[in-house]
Amino acid sequence: MEGEKDKVILFPKWRVTLEEESLEALKEKRYEEALGKLNELLNYQIHSHEIIIGKLICLMELGRHEEAQVLCEEAMSQKDEDYYHYVHIYLTILFQTNQYSLLMEQVDRELEGSNVPYMMREQFRQLYDVSSKMAKEVNSEESNEYLKELKTAVESQNHENQWRIINRLHQLNATPDKKLYSLLKEEYIHPVIKTALFRWFQDQEVSDLIDVEKLGSQLHVKPIDVIGLKTHPTMKQTMLLISELEQENPTLFQLIKQLLDRYAYVRYPLLPPSEEAVHIAGALRYIGDQMLNIPNETREELNHNQFHYVDEIKMCEQLYLSIIED
């Protein structure tokens, strides 16, 4: 019976009737009724521009923006002569649903080309400008709420919440409150939280001198002047020393690299000098061999410095995993 249903043909007269009735319902703002008739036409594979636009209007008026967005994306993917009309509706949907970042990304893509009609180009730019302003206002309001939450999380010493909130503030490009600077020297602030704070300050180009105290070391520095974690000389030199393992034993290399990344994250910005890289690399290899039960009779015994880093790397691993779940 399903095969017979698939073969049903919509007679021209019935098609005209459905189109007229859907248009009439649309004009009279009977959107549910209009949507039903438009869906019936679409079920018969009648995908004219007018029907798609009619359905989009119904969905938007009924507050079904998610469905309208999906339909618009499908229509845009056809890249037909009505493409820019659909793009304009799509941007309107994004604006109405406060998806400002997505709207601006779409406008950027469209304006990279030279085919956008002049009038629409101007409308797209206007939408972009308004969205940019709205996004900043929303981010500012959201940031203020998160800053209040962070204060509460610090007072209650809830490290997990502190981590979550700081990362959200970082993502929002929020401007750090100067009152937060002092957290970097407080003993009760977790080392991982201090790293998250410092990297946020860095990305916001904080140029104030800040005291950082972590794991028995101290630093008086401007975040903007500090070399990034990934490009720090100690990280680069240590990576160079362990890189030969990537071909010899990929599993061991990945384990050691993960240990190094976590160790460096917990210590940052107070990493050991690059001259210590050879000892750090030796300690990492020792721990990696232990974890994978790899015999190391042929290798030299660890020296005092390397044993120090074995203990420190293991401690930092525990500190990292107490906050961050990879």
Q: Does domain 2-97 have CATH number 1.25.40?
A: yes
Q: Where are the domains of the chain?
A: 2-97, 137-225, 233-321
pLDDT in tens, 236-294: 999 999 999 999 999 999 999 999 999 999 999 999 999 999 999 999 999 999 999 88
Q: If you average pLDDT over each of 47-51, 136-140, 165-169, which comes out highest?
A: 165-169
| Non-local CB neighbours of 78 within 8 Å, separated by 6+ positions | none
Are 194 and 266 a contacting pair, CB within 8 Å? no
- Specify the DSSP element, H or E, that contains 283: helix 277-291
Between 49-61 and 65-77, two packed helices, what is the crossing angle to 10 degrees? 160
Stretch 55-59: mean pLDDT: 94
Q: Is 298 exposed, middle or buried (0-12, 13-18, 19+ CB in 10 A)?
A: exposed
Average pLDDT, the chain: 90
pLDDT in tens, 301-320: 778 889 999 999 999 999 99
* The model's pTM: 0.69
CA 176 to the chain's CA centroid: 19
Residue 7 banded pLDDT, cuts 50, 70, 90? very low
Question: Rounded distance, CA 203 to CA 41, Å?
Answer: 53
**Tokens 């044993």, residue located:** 307
